[in-house]
Structure 1
Amino acid sequence: MGRRHQSKNGGTRARKRTVFRSLLRLGLVLSLWGFAGLAVIIGWCAWDLPSVSQIKPFEVQHSITILAADGTLIARYGGLKGDSVTVSQLPPYVSAAVLSIEDRRFYDHFGIDPLGLARAIYTNLKARRWVQGGSTITQQLAKNLFLTPDKTLRRKIQEAMLALWIEHRFTKEEILSAYLNRVYFGSGAYGIDAAAKTYFGKPATDITLWESAVLAGLLKAPSKYSPSSNPKLARDRAKTVIAKMEEAGYIDKGMKKQELDEARIRLAGAAAGDLNRYFADWVTEQIDSYITDAGRDLVVRTTFVPQLQLLAETREKALFKQLKPEQKISQAALVTMGPDGAVLAMIGGVDYEASQFNRATQAQRQPGSAFKPFVYLAALEAGYDPENKLLDAPITSGPYKPHNYDDRYFGEVTLTEALARSLNTATVRLLQDVGIAALIDVAQRFNFPHPFAPELATGLGADETTLLDMTNAYAMIANGGYSIWPYAVLSIEDSEGNVLYEHEDVTHARMFSGRDIAALDGMLVQVVAQGTGQAAQLSRGHVAGKTGTSQNYRDAWFIGYTNRFITGIWMGNDDDSAMEKVSGGKYPARLWHDYMEQAINVDVPSYARRMPHGGDDGFSRMIRRWSSGDFGGFSGSDVPVYNQ
């Protein structure tokens, strides 16, 4: 019995050994097949692996740099070539910011991070979508240097193979330096130095901790987190980077709090205002009309005056803070010009980030009564003088029967009083007598780019035009009646300093007589002195202008000039909805006053003060007196007797 028990135990052990040997043989066979399969896969991936000597070239776009006349950076478009830098040349928080958000275990792995890869797989499976990548900085460098962006298994294996070779061939500092010099940061900027210059106007060696966090935050999605187009997302992403830096031990809690408390993105060009991109975009659209070969890096010097722009933005923001929602004003635009057409400042809207539509140059709006001076100039040319009488009373006959503002009528009034009070019925009667053809002729000589409808309503500003074109027309009144066009480009050079275009002063054609312009100027002075534009009065100097309000308060304008500048202001809504009884004599005139009261003290370049020339007459002599600081007004033979 005992022997049978021993025999049974022996048989069990024999069977176990047989099973073990079978499993061992099976494991060996499977391992051999596995190694063979892996070899086949590696061979398949390595078969067309790019040569490490064939580095993928940059696809850098040509850059356009827009400068103010004094050299202040306004904006930069396209790619910008930066200098190659090493990690040791950069502030330590630059690499810390990048490593914290992109590859915290960079100095611990061998090019592939199994822990990071496992964490990414777990996170993605848990979220049931792709939320985290597992590529190391070395793998990203391999992709940027040698591979296409295809998201395939084969490409990922090739990326890992190249990463292992890179880690074997180079030091960690060399790898990180190459990555920072190669990676794309958006806005055409390849490399950390190009990005620093593009976004902050400084080399990478000079950027701050917060700016480093902003740039590091771009790496995940350069377009999405661009501080130029999405500043809020960029700010939030940078805060995440700062938090990650504190988690990784690169900064302490005190530094984290300080950076988050002071979190503000100051982009390159901020010295020229927050809304200067409206001007820069407008300039960029014109470059092809100045030069034929734009296939190179360009530097464009413009007529822009940063001090005026900053003043305009400051006063506009201050006014909008005082507005109440029930007043229903959502947008504003402003243009300041010199007497020869130089555009010195421009606001195309209250928020460039929210809307790049330029309301100063693109929006076609009804100017309302701001168009009336052209009716009165046509009358002056027809032989009227400012003291002639007009009837201001309801119009009862004919198809067009406009009313005065608030239905108030004043009976017999002079042309000067009719314009100062902006009387509709008196203006229409004047236009009926002068003729619509005369008004259309005057408008054409003011260089409006499109014809106006030959209708009585046109005389009251029912047709549409832009703020820039209206301001240019008033500039022709301010300069004595000489033909001008708005311009902004002073010169265009390539990156090597070759001048491709340079603005030249030309002889301007006289479009209106000095006598008629002087008479109209005197009438516009009265608009501000005792008419609808009184809110625009300044503490000193020559001030003339006109208010404008379109039907149902959809548009509100004030356009005026001093002896130095011409400024036009428009307010309204993009959807053409009505404001709450906002007229041109209200907020537009107030903003004009608040801005111009300070603007007249700004020292501007000579071109901004240049008067068009094309002859000499009384008005030209008067303008020269104003330019020299003599604000004594009209006298002697400079103007007609009726305006003394």
Structure 2
Amino acid sequence: MSKRGNGLVNKDKRGSRRAAAERAQSTPPSRKRKSGGSGGGSRFSRLTKRIAIWGGALALLGLIVLGVAIASAVQSLPSYNQLKATQTAQTIVVRARDGTEIVELGPSYGEWLDYDEIPQVMKDAMVAVEDRRYFSHLGVDPIRLTGAILESFVGDKRIGGTSTITQQLARNLFLNNNRSLDRKLREAVLAFALEWKFSKEQVLELYLNKVYFGGGAYGIDSASRNFFSHSATDLSTPEAAIIAGLVKAPSRYSPTADVDAAVGRAQVVLRLMREQGYISAQASSVDIDAVNLKPRIGQNSARYFTDYVLPQLDLLLPETFEPIEVWTTLDVDMQRAATSAVRANTPPGSQGALVSLDRDGAILAMVGGTDYVETNYNRATNAQRQPGSAWKLFVYLAALEAGYTPDDRVVDTPTEIDGWSPRNSNGKFVGEIDVRTAFAYSINTVAAQLGQDVGFGSVASMARRFGITSPISTFPSMVLGSSEVRLIDMTRAFAAVSAKGTSVEPYGIMRVTTASGREIYRHERARSSQLVPSYVAAGITDLLQTAVNTGTGQAAQIGRPVAGKTGTTSSNKDGWFVGFSSGVTTGVWMGRDDAKAVPGLQGGRAPARAFADYMRVAVKDRPVEEFETEVKLPGWMLEPDDEYLYGNPEDYYFIDEQGNLIEPGRREGGQPFGVEGEQGPRPQIPVPQGEAGQAASDDFLERATGQRVPSDAPPMPRTIRPSDTARERSSNPQ
């Protein structure tokens, strides 16, 4: 019984195996692959293991390399006492063009405070704002590092990772401030080395005694004495918060430059201290009246200039910590005259600024405000204000380039452009006048008509060509100066006109030498370019001179030829005068920082008077120079209308009398225009022959000019009068 039973079982098993084999043979290949998942899983598992092994090996190798680098750095680090005695700050002597010392900028060090002597509130404030995980990381904060990596991939600056206190110390002691990957890697290695060799307390002590706080102050004791007239051992909580807030941007948050900015930054520091448990909520506010700033004596306004040019040294010089002397373009007498002129003429409660350039772009004088100690904000280079009618320089430049001349007739009449109706300052309209008079008396309706005629985009393009770097609107009202500009840019544009239409690049540093006299930088004049033809420069100079002689700028007269333009914005918020004489170009702006109206402020009054007061000194030793104001139109503009509409023939291919194709910029005989002695091949092309004596057929001429050639006689040329306007030429070609 049991045997039969066993036989049945075996028989059933054999049958089931045969059925399984049959099913396997009938199963499609795709289904076999799906059912056999163990092989795919095995390959994925092997790949994962390989990645893990290689990744681990690379990570281990990286750690070994990092460890070797850190160990090497630790061996090369100076001792703690050597680091305390080392001063890495650079002394800079700034000189005027005649060698006179303007200012000496260098490190100011207070007493060295040991860790236990530093007030706890100062240590807490610095850790709270600069490195909240200072006491838990090993020199590099992995959370900040991850944030920096994420920022580099997604470009989200809100994530950003900044350096730890130890990294900042490493940079201040051993590296420069460039943002290269190599420098960041070296900074990280040095930070690990510092934390390996020194304690947290020693690192923080070094940092607080060496970090830069602005105004030449290095270390908290120097900063405390510089800003509050007492030792850092006596710092209060608000004072400590102000000093800690300076590290991010010493010049921006300096309490001697901008109290409100310093207090605002200090509030941020106190909030972080409260959030991190260092102070109570009651202590987390700054009472401005409770912070007693050190009284300061007046400083020379040349500091506006030095603040402008010295940051450029980072781009001009190789890395060096040697003491250096910077020889600048500043003229001491002109700077003194500029300061007096601005202070004497600026309306009460307002600010004034002045920039003066030599014919090559050298900055002769710069005044950024009426009092550098009161505010070091440089209105000559940083402030953007509406220029008013001074902007008409670009409107009339575009019109002159389009074919207008100073003698052309225009009409001062009510005008409407896309719903905008400009009005004149006196509310009157004088009817038909010439372009020269319209500019001299700054007639708004004519400027609007000219802008519409040549195109507002053309006016904006002209402003860009002459060095305006701020955003420019192309709405119709832009012709009256609604786009904000910088004083230095406007002065640069007028300097280019003074240079007969040639570009001018402002600069303030002539050369730099080390203390031993070795020259490490010398200014090289930038390559200039012709911005407009000479006849356009002559025409605009004619208009600018008339504006001073008989127009709105008469207060700018100095007893020799002066060309310039006034500018006044709505409600007398801004007053401008920009002009030139004897190779010196000067721009003056006046107004309030809050852009409120200034009663009686007009470009032709206080700014023009300040210009005259300064320029009498600036040009007194220069020869009198007459302006070139004769508009000599090029020959191609005096040809028949059809040819004028096609522009300058030097810009196009044309056919000579023998039917030869002449390339752009080449004369007869294959010689380039304006180049003597160079000969080139004269390319030949087959030209259809027409009637005897005609080099090209009528059909060819019609296709080339787009106009029908009369069959009975060749067209007679008509001379265009220089006084024809661009609009007349385009609308009445015959």
Q: TM-score range by the shorter chain?
A: 0.5 to 0.7
Q: Does 1:585 align with 2:613?
A: no
CA distance in 2, matches of 1:372, 1:432: 13
Residue 408 (structure 2) pairs with residue 388 (structure 1): yes
Report how far residue 370 of structure 1 moved.
Answer: 0.2
Q: 1:75 aligns with which of 103, 116, 137?
A: 103
Alpha-carbon distance in structure 1 between the residues aligned to 2:461 and 2:445: 22
Note the 1:306-345 alignment, pairs <5 A. 306-320=332-346, 323=347, 325=348, 329-345=349-365
- Indicate if the aligned counterparts of 1:342 and 1:486 stay in contact, CA closer than 8 A: yes
Q: Distance in 1 between matches of 2:585 and 2:102?
A: 22
Tell me which residue corresponds to 2:92: 64
Check 1:188–1:572 CA distance in 2 against 1; reply closer, same or farther (3 A cut). Answer: closer
- What CA distance in whole angstroms lies between the structure 2 residues aligned with 1:483 and 1:52? 55
- Which TM-score applies when normalising by structure 1? 0.58
1:548-572 Cα deviation digits (max 9, x unpaired): 0112211110001001310100000
Partner-residue secondary structure (3-state), 2:426: helix
| Corresponding residue to 1:467 among 487, 495, 498 | 487
Out of 421, 430, 440, the position equivalent to 1:410 is 430
User: Which one-letter code corresponds to 1:471 in the other structure?
Assistant: T
1:440 to 433, 450, 460: 460
Question: Contact between 1:229 and 1:353, CA under 8 Å: does it hold in 2?
Answer: no
Per the alignment, residue 426 of structure 1 pairs with 446
List gaps (5 residues or longer) in structure 1: 1-50, 82-139, 153-183, 196-213, 232-263, 604-626
> How far 1:348 moved relative to its partner?
0.3
Q: Distance in 1 between matches of 2:307 and 2:83?
A: 35
SS in 1 for 2:343: helix
Residues 1:303 and 2:271 aligned together = no
The counterpart of 2:529, out of the listed 498, 509, 512, is 509
Mapped pair 1:369 → 2:389: yes
Aligned positions of 1:182-221 closer than 5 A: 187-188=215-216
| 1: CA distance, partners of 2:607 / 2:495 | 18
Deviation at 1:497, TM superposition (A): 3.0
Q: What is residue 546 of structure 1 aligned with on the other side?
A: 565
Corresponding residue number in structure 1 for 2:543: 523
Cα distance between partner residues in 1 of 2:447 and 2:218:
61
Instruction: Tell me which of the two structures has the higher relative contact order, counting C-alpha pairs closer than 8 angstroms and 6 or more residues apart.
Output: 1
1:567 to 577, 580, 586: 586
SS of equivalent to 2:355: strand
- The 3 A distance-change label for structure 1 pair 439 and 365 is same
Q: CA deviation at 1:52?
A: 13
Compared CA separation, residues 52 and 534, structure 1 to 2 (3 A): closer
CA deviation vs aligned residue, 1:172-191 (integer Å, no higher than 9, x gap): xxxxxxxxxxxx99954799
1:561 is paired with a residue whose SS is strand
Post-superposition offset of 1:308:
0.2
- Counterparts of 1:34-433 in structure 2, within 5 Å, are 56-79=84-107, 149-151=117-119, 187-188=215-216, 274-320=300-346, 323=347, 325=348, 329-396=349-416, 398-433=418-453
Q: What displacement does 1:150 show?
A: 3.0
Q: Would you say the 8 A contact 1:545–1:561 is kept in 2? A: yes
CA contact (8 A) 1:63 1:80 kept: no
Separation in structure 1 between the aligned mates of residue 353 and residue 627 of structure 2, nearest angstrom = 32
Q: Deviations over 1:389-409 (max 9, x none)?
A: 111122245322111102122
CA distance in 1, matches of 2:520, 2:488: 26
Q: Take 1:409 and 1:499, find their aligned partners in 2: how far apart are those partners?
A: 61
Match of 1:454 in 2: 474
1:230–1:456: structure 2 CA closer, same or farther, 3 Å change rule?
Answer: closer
- 1:402-446 CA distance string (max 9 Å, x none): 111021221111111111000111110111111112212211210
Separation in 2, partners of 1:424, 1:637: 27
Which runs of 4 or more aligned residues in structure 1 lie more than 6 Å from their structure 2 counterparts after TM superposition? Answer: 51-55, 214-224, 264-267, 635-643
Correspondence for 1:536: 556
* Alpha carbons 1:288, 1:294 under 8 Å: kept: no
Distance (Å, rounded) in 2 between the aligned partners of 1:477 and 1:293: 38
Q: Which moved more, 1:399-408 or 1:554-563?
A: 399-408
1:187-229 CA distance string (max 9 Å, x none): 54799xxx9xxxxxxxxxxxxxxxxxx99977789999xxx98
Deviations 1:460-502 (A, max 9, x none): 1100110000000000000111112211111123334332221
Partners of 2:352 and 2:591 within 8 A in 1: yes
Give the Å deviation of 1:310: 0.3
| 60-69 vs 354-363, greater mean Cα deviation | 60-69
Q: Cα deviation per residue 1:365-385 (whole Å; 9 max; x = unaligned)?
A: 000100101111111111111
Q: CA deviation at 1:294?
A: 4.7
Q: Which residue of 2 aligns with 1:576?
A: 595
Question: Is 1:597 aligned with 2:565?
Answer: no
Q: C-alpha offsets along residues 301-355 of structure 1, whole Å, 9 cap, x if unaligned?
A: 11111110001112222334xx4x5xxx510000000112111100001111111
Q: What is the CA-CA distance between 1:65 and the residue it aligns to?
A: 2.6
Mapped to 2, the partners of 1:151 and 1:582 lie a distance apart of 52
* Deviating more after overlay: 291-300 vs 442-451: 291-300
Cα separation, partners in 2 of 1:412 and 1:74, compared to 1, 3 Å: same
What is the identity percentage for the equivalent residue pairs of Structure 1 and Structure 2? 36
Q: RMSD of the alignment, in Å? A: 4.0
State the shift of 1:64 in Å. 2.8
The 1:425/1:488 distance shift into structure 2, 3 A limit, reads same
Label 1:628 to 1:590 Cα distance change in 2 as closer, same or farther (>3 A).
Answer: closer
Larger CA Rg, structure 1 vs 2: 2
> In structure 2, what is the equivalent of residue 45 of structure 1?
none
Give, in angstroms, the shift of residue 74 of structure 1.
Answer: 2.1
1:479 matched to which residue of 2? 499
1:148, 1:642 → 2: CA distance? 85
265 and 364 in structure 1: CA distance in 2 versus 1, 3 angstrom threshold: closer
Q: Alpha-carbon deviation of 1:453?
A: 1.6
- Structure 1 residue aligned with 2:653: none
TM-aligned CA distance change 1:355 to 1:474, over 3 Å? same
Give the direction of change, closer, same or farther, for the CA distance of 1:498–1:147 in structure 2 (3 Å limit): farther
| 1:6-50 Cα shifts (integer Å, max 9, x gaps) | xxxxxxxxxxxxxxxxxxxxxxxxxxxxxxxxxxxxxxxxxxxxx
Structure 2, unmatched stretches of 5+, are 1-78, 121-211, 243-253, 258-294, 636-720, 724-734
1:298 Cα deviation after fit? 3.0
The whole-number CA distance in structure 1 between the counterparts of 2:461 and 2:485 is 16
Give the structure 2 partner of residue 555 of structure 1. Answer: 574
Of 498-507 and 336-345, more deviation after overlay is shown by 498-507
Tell me, in whole angstroms, the C-alpha distance in 2 between the residues paired with 1:557 and 1:511: 24
Rounded to whole Å, the distance in 1 between the matches of 2:542 and 2:422 is 26
Deviation at 1:598, TM superposition (A): 2.3
